[in-house]
Chain A
Amino acid sequence: MPQLRSPDQLDAFRQELSSSGDADTPCISVCAGTGCLAYGADQVIRAFEAEIGKQGLAATVNTKGTGCPGYCEKGPVVVIYPEEICYLGVKPEDVPEIVTRTIVEKKVVARLVYSDPDSGEQAIRESDIPFYKHQERFLLSSNTRIDSKSIDDYLAIGGYTALSKALFRMTAVEVVEEVKKSNLRGRGGGGFPAGRKWEGSRDAPEEVKYVLVNADEGDPGAFMDRALLEGNPHSILEGLIIGGYAIGAHEGYVYVRQEYPLAVENIALAIRHAEEYGLLGENILGSGFDFKVMVHQGAGAFVCGESTALMTALEGRAGEPRPKYVRSNVKGLWNRPSVLNNVETWANVPLIINKGADWFTGYGTEGSKGTKIFSLVGKIANTGLVEVPMGITLRDIVYKIGGGIPGGKKFKAVQTGGPSGGCIPERLLDLEVGFDELTEAGSMMGSGGMIVMDEDTCMVDVARYFLHFLSDESCGKCVPCREGLRQMDRILKNITEGKGQDGDIETLEDLSELAMDASLCALGKSAPNPLLSTLRYFRDEYEAHIKEKRCPSLLCKDLVKYYIDPEKCSACLICLRKCPEGGVVGAKNMIHVIDHEKCTSCGVCFDVCPDRFDAVVKYSGEPVPPPIPEEQRMIDRKKKKDHEQSPSAN
């Protein structure tokens, strides 16, 4: 492939690409993102290739491993174009049927399409599935349309048109102005306006400047950036090159965690392809602008997502934040002006340049424009990635897109913003999603983690989990974070173990204030959020743990005791056999009882007791009834049967 030397050559090449492929040629796209690969998507892809070969269709059908379409709950996801037929949970053994029925006979395999769990109503096309219907997928929609390893696919859907436009039809200042006008705010957590950040770097006097991609996504349960890097790496690269042009940088770095091997592979491949095509390197498209990009693999520290820690790590030192009062867009990497934006922020840039700031500001709220990708996880029916316009309510995300809480359980809270975000209770579900709105509610946008919790979730335990995570991930450089979080983690652990004392809440509040006021970086400053938000909305749960030694959600192991209801126990022996401590006493036809000397409250008996008996009961904060006397434990099967059959016996 010869290098593209001008925008005209780029357009001509794109023309060639789109004319070579017939729009009606069937294309089978299988999600090859990390989630679906874990479900066995690679076997599905191989099965398709084999079956298509076997049926002699290789010349007329394309098979693609694409990026993540987001519906991880139902992976592996297969979409067949041009009809856009969406098959969920596809296994290799389904493949021959799909090829025969759908590709050859043009019919739908009904058992593989989406079916509403309540009404049973089916949805064949991806866009008709409720999970997708309420989304606005500007960033994610390309994921299923392209082979993430193919630059030609990206070019065919209009890739690098924004770069061409920026380089040849806009000045660098105009690019910055357009981004400023769009009010694009940082998608990585801070929400700082990207345009203003760019402007600061542009205006800085130093000659050498950098643009950096923050792909150190480390929040538990969050995978937005991974999906973009894996699925559409060129969109991030294109944004980055435009950013480099806008601020006058000739070097860019992608800081990506090495735990994302596929993302590392795909972005590195994208860089190589872009170089081969003349879209990176010297004299890009003949514009005279030079730009190169390097990939740096992070070693897995959460704190390296913090801007100064990331830059310190890029410089080859231990990833610790540095104390400074000059912004890194003026003095950043190697003390030079550096624009650091998150993956999703960069991916928005080509859209803004192509469609204009006015288009972008047409979506969202007063302070938050465009769309935002969330990873919707936890106690939710439809786990996955969702891209929604800013301003959508949490309720719509949880119920319309997420399909509500599974198992008939009640919603309790949603945690947004990653580990340093906060928990938002049910009464605030109509909150509009936006940077300022979430902060006001005691949480934050963060990078877009969204963990849904149901009635079985203990909010003290949630706070303990996140504080423990953050204490573990603290770099240890400053005292309020290292020592403050250590003590908070310890106190919270005590509370969940029934060792809470009067004054603990006040001490926690004191330590939170100290961490927020005096910590060196954002990790420490925001770490108290999960604690403070749960204290704000669920203080009664803390008090129950401390004063009554009771866990209202019946979750904290040390505060829960188990009891077998003799009325319900059928002496089936299941819990007796499964108890790891040998703590269930009983025999065939003998009602089982728990030996509390041996019981460790592991909950296995509760989990294994068959639903039809439902005999194991949890107690917290109140004494467990004494075991039924030994002489009354014998079950007379015949009598019991009669008893069950005759309602009058009630």
Chain B
Amino acid sequence: MSKVHLQIDGKAVEAEEGMTVLEAAHHAGIKIPTLCFHHELEPMGGCRLCMVELDFGDWTRLVVSCVYLVEEGLVVRTRSEKVDKIRKGILELQLAHAPYSPQLNRWAEEYGADRNRFVQDASFCIHCGLCVRYCAEVAQKHAVGFIDRGVRKEISFIPEIAARECNDCKECFPLCPTSYLQAAFVLTESLAFPRNGSAKAGDSAESAS
């Protein structure tokens, strides 16, 4: 596979052809924040936190680095006034759902995001889709999926599959940035397939932790 040379934040970076800008940056030790990226999964390009600015001399372009592929001679800025403003805005919107997510709060501090800027919403799922995609693409169980659309969209376990597959797996649990996934699982379990014929809240909480 041939090598591609690009510049990220002023640093000369060598990458493999077919790599994304995000991967190239991470390989070079340059951190780009992201909520929906996972190295084992197809990029979703949904959280938009990994946006970077491409510099073409007389014009620039904003792209999501988890999807954009490296090109020879590409000049990438992972921080700029525009990029930082986008990240601050996205974090503020996400914090309206999960104001106490440790990960969101760490970035909020870095980008000056105010977690109380917007009216908070009851659901603390931030729709990164890591659980849904991991279950489909890696675990290949399809036990959790998205239902509905847009502002009403939420994750939901499919009871028939979850009852069969989840207790021995739970590989998606550590991926959730807000712990909403665990809550959704416990709720599904206690409503749809309580073990030993009745919900054992203690058990579930233990396995979820």
Which positions in A face B, CB cutoff 8 Å? 301, 318, 322-325, 471-480, 482-487, 490, 507, 510-511, 513-514, 517-520
Contacts and interface: CB of A to CB of B under 8 A. Distances in A.
B161 to A, nearest CB: 18
A518 B51 contact: yes
Contacts of A472: 150-151
A483 B89 CA distance: 10
A476 B67 contact: no
A514 B89 contact: yes
B153 interface: yes
B41 interface: no
Interface in B63-91: 63-64, 67-69, 82, 85-86, 89-90
Given A325-B67, A486-B151, A479 B90 contact: yes
Chain B CB within 10 A, most for which of A474, A475, A477: A477
30 contacts: A301-B149, A322-B45, A323-B43, A323-B44, A323-B64, A324-B67, A471-B150, A471-B151, A475-B153, A476-B127, A476-B146, A476-B152, A476-B153, A477-B46, A478-B45, A479-B47, A479-B94, A479-B126, A480-B48, A480-B93, A482-B151, A482-B153, A483-B94, A485-B151, A486-B121, A514-B89, A517-B82, A517-B86, A518-B48, A520-B48
B12 interface: no
B37 to A, nearest CB: 12
Given A323-B45, A514-B86, A490 B119 contact: yes
A474 B93 contact: no
A287 B118 CA distance: 63
- Sorted nearest first, the 10 A-B pairs with minimum C-beta distance are A323-B45, A483-B93, A476-B153, A474-B150, A514-B89, A476-B150, A323-B67, A518-B48, A477-B46, A518-B86
Given A483-B93, A514-B86, A473 B44 contact: no
Interface in B27-65: 43-49, 51, 62-64
State the main secondary structure of chain B at its contact with A.
loop
Nearest to A471: B151
Nearest to B93: A483
Contacts of B151: 471-472, 474, 476, 482, 485-486
Given A322-B45, A520-B45, A520-B46, 6 more contacts: A318-B146, A476-B149, A476-B152, A477-B127, A483-B90, A518-B89
A475 B146 CA distance: 11
Contacts, number: 95
Nearest to B89: A514
A478 B46 contact: yes
A517 B119 CA distance: 22
B96 interface: yes
A325 B47 contact: no
Contacts of A318: 146
A54 B117 CA distance: 75
B159 to A, nearest CB: 20
Contacts of B97: 483
A511 B117 CA distance: 12
Q: Which of B69, B90, B121, B126 neighbours the largest number of chain A CB atoms within 10 Å of its CB?
A: B90
A479 B150 contact: no
Given A323-B64, A325-B68, A482 B43 contact: no
A318 B44 CA distance: 14
Contact of A478 (B47, B82, B85, B146): B47
B48 A478 contact: yes
Contact of B119 (A473, A476, A479, A487): A487
Contacts of B44: 323, 477
Interface in B90-123: 90, 93-94, 96-97, 117-119, 121
